[in-house]
Structure 1
Amino acid sequence: MPHPDLTTFLRLMHDHLSTLQAVHAAPHGLREAEIRTHLRHAQQGRSTAAPSVSHVFRQLCTHGLIEPLPEQSAVYEPTMRVQRLLREFQREQVLSTPKVLRGHLEQIATDRQRLHQFGEQQLQNGAIRTLEHLGDALEEIRRLSRTNREAILHRVTALRAQTKGISVEDRFSILLEMMDDHIRPLEAIVHSGGMAEEQFSQLETTLGHVQPSFADAPAVLRELAVTGARLRRVRRHVLQNFETARDEVIPLFKAQVRSTMLVRGASKLLQAVHRSGPDVLGLPERLRLLRINIRTVLDDNAMRSFLLDMRAYTPAPPDPIPQRATDAQPAPLPHRDELIAQTVQACPIDDVMAHLVDQFADADVSHVLAAYRYILQSQKLRISFDATSRTYTHGRCLLEAHPARVEAVALTVA
């Protein structure tokens, strides 16, 4: 298939969008006769100078908007580029597996090594070409992260809205697939010791290492600055998108686990009752049911006197409720900007978690974790993690993290 002309491609997609949407909506493609019918209906009301249906159909094929299904010559589907555009604008994003993300991260590792070699050899053209490749890989990772988040949110929203026509078992199976195929593998990639953070940290180190080699090359310095900005944005967006998707799926998954367990338990109980009768449940022993038989009328004089006295009984006023001691309020967390400014002044910090635990020793542990997150997401700070984790003590809490060294980001003037 020849490479399509961009202007013609966009014009054809604009003029025949309804037909392309119909082909895209067909689960097994559309026959050529059906596509021609859609084109004929779309041309009704247009000027008589409009091209023929046969000509339009050939253009859609020639310029890469539709193509035959594999091993079928009369059934067509949109090409992959058209499918991606329609899914993007119709919010029908396809979930990509973590293997796709790993592939881009492996490519970043390869390009990072090439950039290091070009820096040692001071080859400007090779460095610029490699930085452009790195920028493309970083943007693709950011796009995958965003589309995965939107696809997961779309599926969770649809699953919540679909209250009829789907069993508890099917609902649980759908959520379990999302957990096993996406949430858990992605968590292993994006957490502080995962593959993504490891490659991002190494790339940040390499960008800083090769910068002196191109001190007299403004074009390379500009590309280094742009790639560094892309890297910081990708690190922030990948983490945010993953956490958003995870926070939507996990509560629904846990609730579905409980519902599934209840349904399975009730099903097993009903099967046992059907086979052996209700006595197999042992309800009197399990629930401690009591049976009281009153065979005679109550005529005991002592009991009657007691009940009359109880009718006239007036209870004493209750003891006053003691006032609860005022809990000591935890030390407030500084504003995000103030915290970042203090951290920049204190740089370099060899272990930012230890620094925060000491600084906020009297604060609530949630404040410590919030401050830690603000620092990791700040574009004014450069973070590098140790390979070995350690444990920190804050009050009665134990925090485990990889020691993170924090340095202020030096502003580069192109």
Structure 2
Amino acid sequence: MIERLNLALFVVEAIAYFAIMVTLLHFRHRIGLGVFLTALGVMHFMETYLAAVFYVALPFGIVSPGSSVFFAGKLMMILMLYLKEDAATVRQPIYGLFLGNLMTVGIAWFLQLHIPVDLTGGRGADFGFLNEMGWLMIWGTALLYIDSLGIILLYEKLGRFIQRWVVLRFMLSGLALLTFDQVGFFAVLHYFVGVPLSVFWGGWLAKMLSVCIYSGLFAAYQFAVRRHGATLAQRSISDVFNDLTFRERYQDLLSRSGRDTLTGVLDRNSMELDGPQLVRDSLEREETMTVLLLDADNFKDVNDRFGHLEGDEVLKAVASQFATVLRPTDRLFRFGGEEFVVLCPRTNHAEGLLLAEHLRWQVAGTVRNLEGQPITVSIGVATLGPDSVSFNGLLAVADDRLYQAKKCGRNCVVGQNGKVAAA
């Protein structure tokens, strides 16, 4: 009876933890990502404390909710944060936790140099406990750092084999890394705290159950976002800080008008905001997208022979011709100099190659320099999934293929496997 009650409470705790943390993550653009990261971080001491001293009986063994529910949930939240943001954002809470725990150990050690005054009737500070918990937290955070890297890398590797099965990748990554974590953290608990070996299997089974619960909730969240995500995200959540920061946000909006002043297309700042978001949206919806990186051939010669004013006119003409070919859903950005980027949502690699060839042909057939010689472009094409699952990765692949196009004689399109689509 007690074991069943504990199991029911275990499931309720997992559902409640997921619901609260996902709500903070979902509304991060309204209330700030710091709210989610702070909530993620402040739980670490409680998780470690419970993992050291608080255990309950479940039908399949003795487990600690601190490790099996909350720490497991934190790792799955970090993977979700990566899916919503990027690896650069994920590293912030990991480094913060690690440094904070180092400070905890340092402060506990330094405070022991004091000679305290007893004002609480013998209930003085337990420095042994602080030292023990501090080192446990450092070891737990070190494991969390390894777990976080591992779960992200494994999720990406699994994408090569089961790209469209996002929830399955989510679950398999959690099962593998929490198994590793159980071995690593339990070894320290057994050595330093004396937790018996019999607890290992119960804790491992509890973590596997937690991953299954979190994966099911993740699937429900993904389904809800696909159906109602726009309405959920548009609901305003405001507080006093909105009024205090209105001027800063207004100035930031002005500074990111998003247009290139010469060609009128979207600028690089817009691309760096829109590109990663489009990749995340495409992955969430299990859709493909393609990136085209275009470069005007021999553009330096135009500037050298006819001057920079004529070079500017050529760039404007090239951008104008791109606009006549691109579809309403495509997004054209000036990447820098004579380079442009086109983001093509819901476009597979073959469709991207056809679009790139149409762009190449359009420019070559319509844009001329002052002597009537045609202006041409070289294009590298990369597609989400087969080439990379990050925006920067797609740009890097497209840039490499653009370089191949230049080596192939320019005025051509290069896609996967180094094949020249047109010349």
Quickly name the TM-score band, shorter chain normalised: under 0.3
Larger-Rg structure: 1
> TM-score, structure 2 length as denominator?
0.25
TM, length-normalised to structure 1: 0.26
